[in-house]
Structure 1
Amino acid sequence: MKVITVTNQKGGTGKTSTTLFMAYGIARQGKKVLVIDLDQQADSSFSFHVPYEDSQSTFQLLTGTATLPEIIVNATDKINLAPASPDLSQLDLLLAGKLDPQFILKDALKAVSDKYDYIIIDTPPSLNMAVLNALTASNTVVVPTQADLYSLKGLNELAQTVEGIKRRSNPDLDIAGILIGRYNARTVFTKAITSALEEMAGQLHTTVFKSKIREAIAVKESQNAFKSIFDYDPHGKVTEDIQAFIDEFMEKEN
């Protein structure tokens, strides 16, 4: 079982989209996938368009009032979901003073270790207890970003967070790479920022994925239709980009 966290402390970088791309793309290869939504906005949970109760969510999991098997719902034939709820906004306050609270998710995953090939964790755009739990429980990290100036600042903050996690709770944590989304190869600015991102990747001891996801309305349309991009626009250029990223990621991991 491989556990992947999708994270970036900057908001609006495409974490939920990347989580969905990876879940659907890896499931298409016949793998059994669990998506764990740790973002209080619950966008990943909403995007699967399946019923669940806010009282059976990752908030209850991380506060010890439910087990992981108890909150899991079926999203597709190959994808299960551990949904989020707005109550996650209270998590840091409720876990304050607890002993080693960053290990709660890692311990909870033991209950499903033989049921999934991949677990993909969607995280909020902040450094909070949910993110610390995700990074402590994970084997690897995918960092979605955009080719803009503010993304450089976000990556610097993430580098410090990851180094702290490796020192304290997960020394084997690996960063698979930085994924650039909403990419426009035709602009000089995009090329310059991409070069800067590649330099910044060195601080994270990783690289920028060669595959980049272009700007495309089909991504938002597929989410609005509650469909996988692979089903909504199977022959689209952006779908080719996403498949190339999935192939590159899987090749790196294997």
Structure 2
Amino acid sequence: MKKVLFITALLFAGLASQAQIDSARFMHSIGFGYQYTQFDGLSNQMQNTYGNNYNLDAGAFTMNFACNSIYKRFMFGGEFGGLRRKVNNDDSMSSTVSQGFGYFNFGYLIIDKPGCMVYPFVGIGGVYSGLVLKNKTASDWTDPDFVIKADERGNFSSVGASINAGLSFKKICNHTHEGKQLQLGLDLGVHITPGKRDWIYKGSDEKVESFGTAENIGYYARFTIGGLMTRVFDRSEYMR
């Protein structure tokens, strides 16, 4: 009986010791890909004013930087990035659209294996949208809210709260460097900026009602490359 009690005590002691050992993972990456953005209010207004050629909905090269922490199966972290593309260009006008974004993301690993991770995520943050119109004609453009002189540019911008949601696939490679494993991945997602914010003309800081709202939605696919580091720690040290 004493032997049984002794063995049982050793088992419980071992389990208690293991329970104090925990780990967390840290992952950082850079992503390159494609995003198709739809400007609901602006594109309609531009087409009504300047013709069907001035649909500003378009795809563009996009990139981002992300840093995430993983504890158990829960992922949280942040990212920032942007895009820029000349959308239209003809004899009278050229237009360039740009965006910068930042999000705090939260996810849950539905697949968590030594060589593979898959997790859906959702984030909240903000998006800066910029529009540059160049007047390529010999006369000034006059609007109730702005004036763009001949052969000059007009800069417009809008900032709004945004939602980020998607699905991430990560392949963890055996190659290590300075304690970090190489990870390759694919992110598929959408940025939703639903607020009916106005565009602001930088020449006067006035709202441009003729442009409509700056609400937009962007669908993206990005390939990612980065590193994954695992840190093991003793929770009992933090409980003293």
Q: Please report the TM-score for the alignment, with normalisation by the length of structure 2.
A: 0.22
Query: Which structure has more strand as a fraction of its residues?
Result: 2
Query: Which structure has more helix as a fraction of its residues?
Result: 1
Q: Please report the TM-score for the alignment, with normalisation by the length of structure 1.
A: 0.21
Structure (1 or 2) with the larger CA radius of gyration: 2
